[in-house]
Amino acid sequence: MSSLAVDLALVLAVDCSSSIDAGDFRIQMDGFAGALRHPSLAQAIAAGEHHQIALSLMLWSNMQTQVIAMPWRIIGGPGDLEMTARTFGAMERNLQPGGTGLAAAVDYAATLLQVLPCAADRHTIDVSGDGEDNEGGDAGEARDRAVAHGFTINGLPIVNGSSLLVDYYRTDVIGGPGAFVEPTDSIMSFRDTILKKLLREIGRPVS
C-alpha cells in the first residue's frame, strides 16, 4: 500500500440483475454522473482531512456475476469529479442480467476494499438494488463478514412501492459504523437519492 491517504474508500455496488432493464441502467449511470457534478459534492470532499476520496464501481447480478466497471480512482476536486462523471455517462452494461446475488455482491465488494491501493480513514460499500437475494445467498452473513473487516455497508433500495425491501436492507444488508439506508421511491428519483447518499457518506448530510 502506498503512502497516499484518503478520507473515504467507497465501492459503488450497482444491481444489474434481470429486473434492471437497459433504461433503468442508463438512469442509474446518469444519476451517478449528475450527482458527481453537483457542486456540493466537491465541497464535501474538500472539507475532509485528506481532501480526497477513492471510488470504485462494480456491477453485479447473479451469484457468479460481478464486474469491476471502474477500478479504484482517486478523486480530489472538480476536475476529477468531472472526469469520473464522464466515465459514468459513457458506461455500458457489460454483463449479462440474471438473478439477484446480493450476498455474493457484498462479498465481492469487500474484496475490492481489501486490495485498496492506498490508506483510507473509512471503508464503505454502497449497495443499490431493487430486490432481495434470490440466488441462495445469505446477505446477513455476507454483511457480517464485511463488518468484521471494519467495513460499513449502506443501502439504497429502489422500493417501487414496497416498504418490505427497506426492511430487508435494514435487517440483512446494512451494517458497520454509521450504517444507514437511503431508499428511493423509484428508479426515476435515483439521481436525487444518490446525491444525498454520497454527501452523507462523505460526511456532509443534507435534508
Q: What pTM does this model have?
A: 0.94
Kindly tell me if the per-residue pLDDT of 3 is higher than 70: no
**Is residue 207 included in any domain, yes or no?**
no
pLDDT confidence band for 12 (50 / 70 / 90)? very high
| Cell triple for 56 | 470504485
The count of structural domains within the chain is: 1
pLDDT confidence band for 188 (50 / 70 / 90)? confident
pLDDT of residue 81: 97
Helix-helix angle 78-89:22-36, to 10 degrees: 170
Containing domain of residue 163, as a range?
A: 5-202
**Is residue 30 included in any domain, yes or no?**
yes
**Is residue 189 included in any domain, yes or no?**
yes
Residue 134 identity (one-letter amino acid): N
pLDDT of residue 189: 85
pLDDT in tens, 89-113: 999 887 777 899 999 999 999 999 9
Evaluate whether 100 touches 134 at the Cβ level (below 8 Å). Answer: yes
On average, the pLDDT of the chain sits at 92
Evaluate whether 137 touches 63 at the Cβ level (below 8 Å). Answer: yes
**CATH code of the domain in which 29 resides:** 3.40.50.410
| Cell triple for 4 | 497516499
